Amino acid sequence: MHVLILGANGFIGSHLSEAILARTDWHIHAMDLAEDKLATCLSHPRFHFKNGDMTKEKEWVSEQIKICDVVLPLVAVATPALYVQDPLRVFELDFEANLDIVRQCALYQKRIVFPSTSEVYGMCPDTEFDEEKSHLVTGPINKERWIYSTSKQLLDRVIYAYGGHKGLSYALFRPFNWYGPRLDNVFNPKPGGSRVLTQFIGNILRGENITLVNGGAQQRCFTYIADGIDALLRIIENKNDRARNRIFNIGNPKENISIRQLAERLIQLIVTHYPKYAAAAKSVKLIDMDAKAYYGDGYQDVSLRVPNINHAKTHLGWEPAVDMTDGLRKTLDFYLAS
């Protein structure tokens, strides 16, 4: 099988590339602007990489779509601070650039495995989000945070329509706060410059206090990257067509914790296991800040985000296996143990 990964140097793309090369005989055709996360893949004979911008290298991208069996367009902005700072970039990249890829998959009848997001459920009041029943609830237009959610949602709907009306074969997967090594750059000092876990690790490394937006009572189900990749491999493999034209929540409902608890657990783990950073971690204070002051007017938050994963259990035989203590230790080893 030949798999095209656009955005192979990203968090998901780099872990997926490694896993495909280690665990399958598939070929990977890949593009990204950078290659720093792909050190273990670049010289592999089944890894065919081109450094470039997929929005400019259109001819190359089309050629690869024609020769590949499955296409994963993973290029996207996925950091909430950027949704409110630069919403047009989110629309242009996450929506427009990917729409072009979706259309080509439909044209050349190639299977697409598309990264939807837990964000599509927005502020849905359900205690567990269901792929086929839950309502997708976003805020007013002046809450610009939702441009990411709605861009992804419209692409989900377009892909679903191509599936139903033009014979496109697809699978949509919705990561729920995947984390692990290589998530974001912890040396980015900008508040909101990365997702919450790497933001907090960076805060501790730099000896800064941790900011809890609106007090940190909001909850997330953190899912370790290896579990996510395990699900993704099953989706791409598509044994007996079991993933065909389905949507999968890929998250860990057992690891539902508040952002305040996340900060406390991180500090406690670092104090206990990473002596080099123990003093810095001990001196960190948790500071409350309202969302408007941290992100600006265009932000709105999600207070509870728990996936129902029955679909993935039934059709893929998948469930998460890595608990948060283990996952956080592996992540901290990557960022701190040097």
The binding site for ligand UGA (CB under 6 A) comprises: 78, 80, 117-119, 175-178, 192, 195-196, 199, 211-213, 216, 218, 220, 259, 301-302
Half-sphere exposure in the Cβ direction for 167 (13 Å, CA) = 4
Closest separation between CB of residue 200 and ligand UGA, Å?
Answer: 7
Closest separation between CB of residue 61 and ligand UGA, Å?
Answer: 23
**Nearest by Cα to 266 from 62, 110, 274:** 274
Find residue 70's DSSP bridge partners. 3, 111
Torsion of CA 8, 9, 11, 12, to 10 degrees: 10
Instruction: Reduce the DSSP state of residue 109 to 3 states and report it.
Output: coil
Instruction: Reduce the DSSP state of residue 199 to 3 states and report it.
Output: helix
CB of 169 or CB of 177, closer to ligand UGA: 177
Please answer whether residues 105 and 98 qualify as being in contact, where contact means their C-beta atoms are separated by less than 8 angstroms.
Answer: no
CB of 162 or CB of 176, closer to ligand UGA: 176
Closest separation between CB of residue 42 and ligand UGA, Å?
Answer: 26
Count Cβ atoms below 10 Å from residue 47 Cβ, excluding itself: 20
Token pair for residue 299?
């932000």
Closest separation between CB of residue 246 and ligand UGA, Å?
Answer: 19
Count Cβ atoms below 10 Å from residue 89 Cβ, excluding itself: 13
Closest separation between CB of residue 22 and ligand UGA, Å?
Answer: 24
CB of 168 or CB of 225, closer to ligand UGA: 225
CB of 58 or CB of 292, closer to ligand UGA: 292
CB of 122 or CB of 163, closer to ligand UGA: 122
